[in-house]
Amino acid sequence: MDFSIHPNNLNSISTRTSAGKDDKERQLNRLRESTREFEAIYVNEMFKAMRKTVPEDGIFKTSKTEEMFRDMMDMELARETAKGDGIGIGKAMYDQMKETIENKR
């Protein structure tokens, strides 16, 4: 019986394990982005609810263009708020769900 290991077999084994690690890393990055986007949407909805509480009594009537600009600005502010740890919702979701990806075979 010959128990020698051919060098080509060693490379294929290490490639498979590193590919699995790369796949998990890519999935964790996608999870991080998804949870940040969820938090941004949540914060944007909070901004919308807060804007409804402010009375629009003024000299000038608000145009549709201004409303659209305000909505886009709020969404960008929400995305900036969600960057990093944000307000904590996205981070908490990520911490809960990352175990599922890490424990996958």
Two tokens at 104? Answer: 């996958």
Determine the pLDDT at residue 8.
59
Of 54, 41, 50, the closest CA to residue 81 belongs to: 41
Per-residue pLDDT of the chain (105 residues; tens, 9 = 90+): 455 555 555 554 444 456 667 888 999 999 999 999 999 999 999 999 998 898 877 777 888 999 899 999 999 999 999 987 889 999 999 999 999 888 876
- Spacing of C-alpha 45 from chain mean position: 17
102 Cβ neighbours under 8 A, 6+ residues apart: 24, 28
| Domain ranges, ordered by start, for the chain | 7-102
pTM for the model stands at 0.71
Alpha helices in the chain (DSSP H): 7-53, 64-82, 89-102
